[in-house]
Amino acid sequence: MITLTDAFVALVQEKQLADKVIVLITDDGGGKYSLQGGACSIGTTFTLIILDAPDPDYPVRLENKAGLAIYTSDYDLIFMQDGLTLDFANAQISLKDNAHLLDNSVRIADGKAVLAAFMQGTTINGETC
Strand ranges (DSSP E) for 62-124? 69-72, 85-89, 92-96, 101-110
For each of the chain's 129 residues, which pLDDT tens digit applies?
Answer: 999 999 999 999 999 999 999 999 988 666 788 766 554 445 568 999 999 999 999 999 999 999 999 999 998 888 888 999 999 999 999 999 999 899 999 999 999 998 888 777 666 554 444
pTM: 0.88
* Domains in the chain: boundaries: 3-119
Handedness of CA 27, 106, 60, 32 (dihedral sign): negative
Tell me the C-alpha distance between 22 and 4, whole Å. 13
State residue 122's pLDDT score: 66
d(Cα 117, Cα 12) in Å, to the nearest integer? 24
d(CA 67, CA 75): 23
For the domain made up of 3-119, give the CATH fold: Hypothetical Protein Aq_1857; Chain: A; (2.60.300)
CA-wise closest residue to 58 among 49, 46, 45, 68: 49
Q: What is the pLDDT of residue 123?
A: 61
